[in-house]
Structure 1
Amino acid sequence: MTGLLFQDFVGWFDKRMNDRKVLLIVDNCPTHPKVVEGLRNVELFFLPPNTTSKIQPCDVGIIRAFKAHYRRRFYSSILQGLEVEVPNPEKINILNAINFANMAWNFDVKTIASCFWHCKIRSEENNVPEPEVGELDEGIQGLNDVISNLHYRNVMDVEHLLNYPNENNAVMKSPTDEEIIQSVMNSNDDENDHEPNDSSVVPNVSSKEAFQAIVTLSNYLLQHEQNIPEVVYALQKVKDRIHYGLGGKKKQSTIDAYF
């Protein structure tokens, strides 16, 4: 986040809230300007200092749970890479990171509800009992187990890993025009000096290999008595999508294609 991005977002949000009165609660991040000119429908309310860990659900536990699930999947991918002898299993691309984040965010909704309950943010009409505090630590034990299986030397404590000091204090500043120009020039020089990295290219997979992978996965689930109907249906759906998707792209060859 930068100050310019924040002002652009608030201005866009103000236009969306036409003929409405909105109180936008904002924390005291340095990139959140105290004053944004030209607001008609939105009023900014900045939280008191040193209250982040008390009244903000994300900082109470949602971010911590997300990071735990994300990093458990990241370290699990390293273990899987070591098992199949993949070179540099610690290296991931942006697509892998997006998939990890997507799966990590879909953790149990009870964790999010617990954080809102802990901050006393809840509907008075809903008399659902408060979730147990232990649900906030969901995924922590799984992360600890995965890291232990990697047998790292001088391994970092899980709590320190999830609450790394420098990670929370990082603030993005808007680059100057000179810095932008210099970064573009440097990137062009790097493209000219280095050959493209083949590791960032998705490997070509044939339709036969894709079908065989689905069959192998189905047999694996049957072998371990994990033939869950939802999983079987999902696999069949993927198989159909591959089959009909490839079939729809097939085109009748003409005689001139062979000359």
Structure 2
Amino acid sequence: MPRVNLTINEKLKLISDFDSGIPRLDLSKKYRVDRTTVCRIISKREELEMAISIKSPKLKRLNVFKDDFDEKILEFISKSLSQGIPVNNCLIRQYASNLADETRKDFKCSNGWWEKFQKRYDIKYGKLSGESNAVDMEIVKNYRIDVIPKLIATDKQLIFNCDETSFFYKCYPSNSYYKGSIKKHGLRFLKDRITILLSVNLLGNKLEPFFIGKSANPRCFSEQNGNNLLSKIEYASNSNAWMTKELFHRWLTKWHKNLEVERKQIILVMDNFSAHKLDQDDFPLIKFHFLPPNTTSHLQPLDGGIINCLKKRYLTRLFNWILSKITSNEDITTFMKDLKLNKAIIWLIEAWQSIPETMIRNCWTHCGYMNFDSQMDLVNEDDNFEETCARMNNLSPLIVPSSEQLNDMIDAFNETTIISGEHQ
């Protein structure tokens, strides 16, 4: 019988099969290992169950350490991350070397040790994003206990959240898969940017997005089938494409007039961005409710996944458009310049309209506003995006994004955002 090395996961599955009543001889045939190996695996049940919680399930060897050297290194990594301190290869190896001077005199912090340590404990390397680590969770907890119940006591269709996001509509990943023999030429970062103001209510209804660009009357708007796009969307402009008090006042004024016709009074939940701080007396039908400072990553539904979903759905449309250009053999620098603002806005409107109400409600629930019976996995909202990425990986050796690069792209959007009140 050829030698087979089972992973920890496979060993645990073997134990589970044994518990269900499968004889050892049948397990030996099923997993293609000797019967004595089956008995040895079963005898190490407790060690395997303990190992699965701290080690990668793909490992094949169960290493038992004589001291707590590795535990101290893992504790150092966890403590550093909890304090918001990024840890890289050099920092961890330096800490391990200093620790070895005290406990393991013969230890050498080699590249081989570090690679095995990563594999042993399933250590990943990636970009740290978001601001949740800077949030005082006690404030969040008190807000959810003391404020939210009073806030949602009113009609749920009258509770809205609004927020702005900066959007680089020509943004494209700089990383790519490539063969070693292919020359690698990247794309200069295109800084064409707009700001989008979004608003949703607690039941999942959406208002039309409000776009802010740099040009008062973009030429490309009149090119859309001979019709002026300005007459069909909410659009304003200033030199920086930023939200200002004047533009926010203009947007609220139009909304307030609609509320007068409908005879409704609403509550508007928003962050403490300076442009949001208008005179409440100008809008008697809109009650402003400002979130505590530095808590939007936990308490603002639009930051809880809705904006992220919008950008993912936009990227799906962008990548499908790029696919059509790749098959026409055009240079990427050329056809990315051909992407005009009118096309980007149309894609954004389509992406916004495609977001289901259940997804928006789940984001309110995620932020602690209320619970719904139907739950939804937000990660699976955009299967089309994954399919598009897979198709692009098969088509082009140029700048081809992987699905894992989506979060990096959205981080690029968010890191360059100067719009949010907590960033300004």
Q: TM-score, normalised by structure 2?
A: 0.34
Partner of 2:114: none
What is the Cα deviation at residue 104 of structure 1? 1.9
Cα distance in 2 for residues equivalent to 1:132 and 1:155:
23
Q: Which structure's residues are more often strand, by fraction? A: 2
What is the Cα deviation at residue 56 of structure 1? 1.8
Pick closer, same or farther for the CA change 1:141–1:20 going to 2, 3 Å. closer
Q: Considering only CA atoms, is the larger Rg found in Structure 1 or Structure 2?
A: 2
Pick closer, same or farther for the CA change 1:78–1:39 going to 2, 3 Å. closer
Answer whether contact 2:305 2:378 (CA < 8 A) is retained. Answer: no
Q: Any unmatched runs of 5+ in structure 2?
A: 1-242
What is the Cα deviation at residue 3 of structure 1? 0.5
Answer whether contact 2:312 2:385 (CA < 8 A) is retained. Answer: yes
Q: Secondary structure of the residue that 1:43 maps to in structure 2?
A: strand
Partner of 1:35: 279
Which of residues 89, 92, 117 in structure 1 aligns to 2:335? 89
Q: What is the aligned-residue identity percentage? A: 22
Residue by residue over 1:22-54, the C-alpha shift from the partner in whole angstroms, topping out at 9 and shown as x without a partner, is 432222223212534544333322111122121
Cα distance in 2 for residues equivalent to 1:106 and 1:141:
20
Q: Which structure's residues are more often helix, by fraction? A: 1
Partner of 2:417: 168
Partner of 1:10: 252
Cα distance in 2 for residues equivalent to 1:155 and 1:131:
26
Cα distance in 2 for residues equivalent to 1:119 and 1:136:
18
Pick closer, same or farther for the CA change 1:77–1:38 going to 2, 3 Å. closer
Which of residues 24, 44, 66 in structure 1 aligns to 2:310? 66
Partner of 2:298: 54
Q: Secondary structure of the residue that 1:92 maps to in structure 2?
A: coil
Answer whether contact 1:3 1:31 (CA < 8 A) is retained. Answer: yes
Cα distance in 1 for residues equivalent to 2:246 and 2:416:
22
1:141 matched to 2:386? The reply is: yes
Answer whether contact 1:68 1:143 (CA < 8 A) is retained. Answer: no
Pick closer, same or farther for the CA change 1:121–1:92 going to 2, 3 Å. same
Residue by residue over 1:139-188, the C-alpha shift from the partner in whole angstroms, topping out at 9 and shown as x without a partner, is 5534643664543459693212012244332479xxxxxxxxxxxxxxxx
What is the Cα deviation at residue 83 of structure 1? 0.7
Partner of 2:376: 131
Cα distance in 2 for residues equivalent to 1:66 and 1:117:
18
Cα distance in 2 for residues equivalent to 1:20 and 1:32:
21
Pick closer, same or farther for the CA change 1:108–1:89 going to 2, 3 Å. same
Answer whether contact 2:270 2:300 (CA < 8 A) is retained. Answer: no
Partner of 1:115: 363
Answer whether contact 1:82 1:89 (CA < 8 A) is retained. Answer: no
1:100 matched to 2:347? The reply is: yes
Q: Any unmatched runs of 5+ in structure 1?
A: 173-259
Cα distance in 2 for residues equivalent to 1:44 and 1:113:
21
One-letter identity of the residue aligned with 1:96: K
Which of residues 25, 28, 37 in structure 1 aligns to 2:269? 25
Pick closer, same or farther for the CA change 1:154–1:80 going to 2, 3 Å. closer
* Two-structure CA RMSD over aligned residues (Å): 3.4
Aligned residues: 169
Which of residues 402, 407, 420 in structure 2 aligns to 1:159? 407
Cα distance in 1 for residues equivalent to 2:345 and 2:406:
22
One-letter identity of the residue aligned with 2:312: A
Partner of 2:94: none
Answer whether contact 1:3 1:32 (CA < 8 A) is retained. Answer: yes
Cα distance in 2 for residues equivalent to 1:27 and 1:145:
38
Which of residues 319, 323, 326 in structure 2 aligns to 1:79? 323
Cα distance in 2 for residues equivalent to 1:53 and 1:61:
10
Cα distance in 1 for residues equivalent to 2:324 and 2:400:
22
One-letter identity of the residue aligned with 1:7: H
Q: TM-score, normalised by structure 1?
A: 0.52
Cα distance in 2 for residues equivalent to 1:26 and 1:162:
21
What is the Cα deviation at residue 78 of structure 1? 1.4
Equivalence map 1:197-208=2 (5 Å): none
What is the Cα deviation at residue 60 of structure 1? 0.8
What is the Cα deviation at residue 92 of structure 1? 1.3
Cα distance in 2 for residues equivalent to 1:133 and 1:77:
24
What is the Cα deviation at residue 67 of structure 1? 0.6
